[in-house]
Structure 1
Amino acid sequence: MRELRRASPALLRWFRLCSSRISCSYGSSPSGTSTIPPRRGDSFGHAKECSRSVFRPRDPRFSLRCPASAPSRTAYDPDFDGFRNKCGGFRCFSSEKTQEFHGITEAQAALMDYLHYTRSFQFTDAEYISMNSPIFLSNLLKKVKDRQDIGRSITRFLLFHPINEFEPFFESLGLVPSEFNQYLPRDLMFLSDDSVLLQNYHTLVNYGVPRTKIGKIFKEAMGILFSEDGILSSKLRSYEEIGLSRTSIIKIISSAPSLLIGDVDRDFVRVLEELESMGVDREWIGRNLSEENSYLWGRMIMLLQFFRQLGFSRREVGALVRRNPGFLLDNSGKMVFSVVGLLAKMGSTKDELSGLFLHFPSIQLESFVNNLRFSLLFLTTIGMEPEDIKEVVRSHPQILGSCYLKTPCSVLTSLSVGHKRLCRIIKQDPHQFKNWVFGMKIDRLPNCKQDHISLEQKEKFLLGLGFSENSKEMKRALSKFRGKGDELQERYNCFVDAGLDPKDVSKMIKLAPHILNQSKDVLEMKMDFLVNGLGYPLDSLVTFPSFMSFTLERVKARFLMYDWLKKEGKVKPNMAPSTILATAEKVFLKRFVERHSEGPKVWEKFKRTVDHC
């Protein structure tokens, strides 16, 4: 018997179904055979009497004689050791995983035996609860010390420690302990004592509602499961009377359990009537509801009326909703109103709005809204004039909403253009957005006349610094420069005016040409902080020009951390700025922050201080 209990749940169930006909040998019996008594009935009606009866574990001296057609397999059979995969074979695990798996299966079998044979649960209920309450089983396994025979240990434990049956019951409905703890009755342990809850539960199950969906119904319409006899059934019949099929009702109440509260929801009925008048059958809403959404039927009515105000006929609204169910069902029409509000601010007319919905692109409504908002942010980031933005959005909302754009910085870099030129390109042809979506390779645009003049200025500037014409060094510097060519000389003079030797500045630019991509004010501010804030000499930039590339926030936070560690005696004094700044974040945390036990806490404090400056 011990070996049998380690077998799969499916095999165990087969043996139980045949238990009334299988011969058993009993060690102390003179005849050597005995008959296992048939199991008790499947009704909850005898639960109270059964709860008073003594639960006797199966005698270990029994040994089942299996029919030849069904050879038994033990937990140690290598062909049986694992889960059956989709191809009909077995997926094997390591010994540790296998032991854990068999521990769970034995716990499930023991719990099912307890619920079915001792507590007289219906077999389907006992099986479902035991197979779908992993957290409860895990806690139960922690209380078992004998790991050699988990099934018998749990059986013995349940003999002397009756469980709160509401816990595995609620968990099997899809609830987690944090959700159902507040609903556990204080004065009840046995599920059969709450006959009203059980009756309504079986009403839903027998009606066809999946057991996994009853948990959501319990959370959102808890009162209906504690309603008196017949109320739940009458509510289900009332929805059948308004022309809904049982399949649709199951889908609807699983998605919107609040419909079971009170009388038949008038707004819901009105939505059905409005859709039916528009040529949409009543079964449509049941086929398209999603359990991920919540529904406000009153807002849906407002949306249908809004489409009529845009100039659509009833039949056209029906065709529109059938073609794009998300208009009505995604957040009950909230997404549509978001699009309308945004385009109304851009100055769109009724005709333009109706044209958008009539020729809506093949994309989810939520994705359309997100793309449209990002496109608007894209145009704002590149510096397009407000009036031009309004014109582009009004005239091409389908394009902006259907394109999942790359970031403005990525597009500018790939095209090798400036903000003004990109604005001109978009105003001339907004369809160019289609070429800048994720997954598309963006080809560099040929230089225009202004770009050619700027390039000549950059080359002239670099030649004056001692770069060789058409050299790799010069090409590298040109690829790093951003902005106009006449701005480079002004930024170069900023370093010279601060006191650096022109030859040293030329060396700095050869090492890090990107430092000239910053404005004059930013360069002056960083040099001032290096000298007056950190106490380093200005000529330290000659060996570490990349200092000018780091943000002041990064510099301040890291040097605050360095100064604190220096006071604690954890780092050497007078470290070079490159050692502190040029390391990656993970390396800095390991080399500096984690040197002190309080380091991570202090580091987070310094970062917050810098962010709020």
Structure 2
Amino acid sequence: MISQLNHLVLFSPVFERTTFVQNPSSVSLKFQCFCSSRLTHHSKVSVIESAQSPNSPFANRVSRNARTEAQATLFDYLHCTRSFSFTDAEHISKNSPIFLQNLLSNIDSEKDVARSLTRFLRYNPINEFEPFFESLGLSPSELLSFLPRHLMYLSDDCVLTDNVHALCNYGIPRSNIGKMYKEAKEIFGYDYGVLALKLQAYENLGISKATVIKLVSCCPLLLVGGVNSDFVRVHEKLKRLGLGMDWIGGYASGNSTYNWDRMFDTMDFLDKVGYTEEQMCVLFELNPALLLEGSGKNVYVLFGRLLKLGLEMNEVYSLFMQNPQVLSVKCMKNLLLAVDFLFEIGMGTEEMADIVANDVEFLSSSSFKRPKTVCKDLKVKRDGLLQMIKEDPHKVLTLASKSKEVEETNYKRGLIASYKLAWTATWCQT
């Protein structure tokens, strides 16, 4: 009996059966099964799960021709069968490579791809939100949290598609819309026509359409609620400076992000420090990153570091007033690195504060070597370097600077010799 059972299992006829998957986020897969129900193997392949390994061996085996045929087949399915617009179907089919790769894994990609995939799609309807969101720039790892429950056809969520089309029609690239969806999902739930009015409201402030496109792409929260009041304050301030929001638009990119409240506070701080509108305009034009990178955060970082050294508020204000160039991006970086240099060799905060207050122009205009390198050059230990700086801060820090002149090299040699003589004399006396 056992031998007969083995014979039945090993040689029973094999047939193909297509299983329809209830989960709309999964695509069913044709599989082989035997007559014995106990040996039936159900395999459900999720587009999301398979997308986790885009570098799989299968991905490398698919030829370019197979991918091209698959794109054309997916386009036909979306446009002709599912009645997508030509533009939508074309964009989705050409910009959802992970989804397409998964579809190809369900057929023999070395045979007639178009015919096999057409047949597969006829009996296995797909979750249309997956290639749709992927084509908007969402990564496969992000899809799961954004797929709507109990929906698999885009036509079931007309509000979403209407708002996506409103953004596209305004000129926002489809590849940016995925980021907007992640950061401000609520704007995709507006009634028909509302989103277009919100976009127009920013143009009514006197901002060009090209700038509005850039700013809402990187800061989609601007479209949540009414016109952003912090944004308006920044816009009005920049207009008074002679720059305007279009100036920011010239530097904005899809990876940019702005804190409008902090940006306004930065300009307000500079105003209180004593910068005139003309000075502020020149400062921002020469150093746009000062305001745009971190929305002015670096100004507060520098201000905080100087206060921690023990400088009084009015002393910091005075430093900025007398040395406006200190707030350029390069000068701020140099000054912060100079403070780090002094801290690393063990200098106290009071002594550092004196050096910064008396030599801020030099410190902010020079870049410094690492203390270890300076000690090696001067052939001293850190304690010796610290003592040298205490006795003659400017001259020794000049030696530590990367931008020294030839005569400074000669001076360094003489300085080393003089310190050696002094230390030798001190040692002999003891």
- For Structure 1 versus Structure 2, the TM-score category normalised by the shorter chain is 0.7 to 0.9
Distance (Å, rounded) in 2 between the aligned partners of 1:104 and 1:403: 55
1:355 paired residue number: 322
Do the aligned partners of 2:218 and 2:253 also contact (CA within 8 Å) in 1? Answer: yes
Instruction: Give the alignment partner of residue 422 of structure 1, picking from 385, 402, 424.
Output: 385
2: CA distance, partners of 1:410 / 1:203:
59
TM alignment of 1:523-538, pairs within 5 A:
none
- Higher mean alpha-carbon deviation, 189-198 vs 105-114, is at 105-114
Question: Is residue 297 of structure 2 the alignment partner of residue 331 of structure 1?
Answer: no
Task: Give 1:186's match in structure 2, choosing from 143, 146, 149.
Answer: 149
Q: How does 1:19-418 map to 2 (within 5 A)?
A: 99-346=62-309, 347=311, 348-358=315-325, 360-361=327-328, 363=330, 368-369=332-333, 371-397=334-360, 399-401=362-364, 403=366, 405-418=368-381
Q: Is the 8 A contact 1:399 1:434 kept in 2?
A: no
- Given that 1:321 and 1:328 are in contact with CA atoms closer than 8 Å, whether structure 2 keeps it comes out as yes
CA distance in 1 between counterparts of 2:297 and 2:179 reads 23
What's the secondary structure of 1:289's corresponding residue?
coil
Q: TM-score, normalised by structure 2?
A: 0.74
Q: 1:402 to 1:137 in 2, by over 3 A?
A: farther
| 1:397–1:133 Cα change, 3 Å | farther
CA distance in 2, matches of 1:398, 1:117: 70
Question: What is the alpha-carbon distance in structure 1 between the residues aligned to residue 255 and residue 361 of structure 2?
Answer: 27
Q: 1:199-256: per-residue Cα shift (whole Å, max 9, x none)?
A: 1111111111011111111111111112111110110111111111111110110121
Q: For residues 433 and 123 of structure 1, do their structure 2 counterparts lie closer, same or farther at Cα, with a shift above 3 Å needed? A: farther
Change beyond 3 A, Cα 1:407–1:152: farther
8 Å contact 1:107–1:150 — kept in the other structure? yes
AA partner of residue 306 (structure 2): L
* Aligned-pair CA distance for 1:327: 2.6
TM-score, with structure 1 as normaliser: 0.53
* DSSP 3-state at the match of 2:250: helix
Q: 1:163: Cα distance to partner?
A: 0.7
Change in Cα spacing, 1:167 to 1:399, as seen in structure 2 (3 Å) is: farther
* Structure 1 pair 453–299 and aligned structure 2 pair: CA distance change class (3 A): closer
* Structure 2 residue identity aligned to 1:203: A
Q: Which amino acid aligns with 1:181?
A: L
Q: For the residues of structure 2 that align with 1:419 and 1:376, how far apart are their CA atoms?
A: 16
**Cα distance in 2 for residues equivalent to 1:315 and 1:391:** 31
Q: Counterpart of 1:49?
A: none
Task: Tell me: CA distance 1:132–1:310, structure 2 relative to 1, closer, same or farther (3 Å).
Answer: same
CA–CA distance in structure 2, aligned partners of residues 222 and 109 of structure 1: 31
Return the letter of the residue paired with 2:211: S
Q: Give 1:336 deviation, angstroms.
A: 0.7
SS at match of 2:402: helix
With over 3 angstroms needed to count, the CA separation of the structure-2 counterparts of 1:355 and 1:155, relative to structure 1, is farther
Paired residue for 2:420? 451
How many Å apart are 1:331 and its aligned residue?
1.8
What's the counterpart of residue 399 of structure 2? Answer: 432
Q: Cα RMSD over matched residues? A: 3.1
Q: 2:326–2:364: 8 Å Cα contact kept in structure 1?
A: no
Do 1:340 and 1:353's aligned partners in 2 also have CA atoms closer than 8 Å? no
Kindly tell me the number of residue pairs found equivalent between the two proteins: 357
Give 1:281 shift. Answer: 2.7
Could you report, residue by residue, the CA deviation over 1:395-415 in whole angstroms, capped at 9, with x for unpaired residues? 344554565544322332233
Stretch deviating more after TM superposition (232-241 or 129-138): 129-138
> Alignment partner of 1:340: what SS?
helix
Residue 328 (structure 1) shift: 2.2
Tell me, yes or no, if the aligned pair for 2:369 and 2:400 is still in contact at 8 Å.
no
For residues 431-459 of structure 1, what are the alpha-carbon distances to aligned partners after superposition, in whole Å with 9 as ceiling and x for unaligned? 3343279xxxx998464245368799xxx
Residue 28 of structure 2: aligned partner: none
Preserved contact between residue 263 and residue 296 of structure 2 (Cα < 8 Å): yes
Are the counterparts in 2 of residues 360 and 398 from structure 1 also a CA contact under 8 Å?
no
Give the letter aligned to residue 235 of structure 2.
Answer: L
Q: Which structure: greater helix fraction? A: 2
Q: 1:100 to 1:399 in 2, by over 3 A?
A: farther
| Rg (Cα) greater in structure | 1
Q: For the residues of structure 2 that align with 1:333 and 1:137, how far apart are their CA atoms?
A: 43
Q: Distance in 1 between matches of 2:361 and 2:84?
A: 58
Q: % of aligned pairs identical?
A: 41
SS at match of 2:192: coil
Quote the Cα distance in structure 2 between the aligned partners of 1:181 and 1:264: 32
Letter in 2 for 1:243: G
Structure 2 unaligned blocks of 5 or more: 1-58
Task: Tell me what 1:525 maps to.
Answer: none
Contact 1:388–1:427 (CA under 8 A) maintained in structure 2: no
> What residue identity is the alignment partner of 1:118?
T
Q: Distance in 2 between matches of 1:451 and 1:276?
A: 60
CA distance in 2, matches of 1:372, 1:153: 66
The 2-side partners of 1:157 and 1:455 are apart by 90
Do the aligned partners of residues 99 and 198 (structure 1) sit closer, same or farther apart at CA in structure 2, a change above 3 Å counting? closer
Against the structure 1 CA distance between its residues 178 and 427, is the aligned structure 2 distance closer, same or farther, given a 3 Å change threshold? same
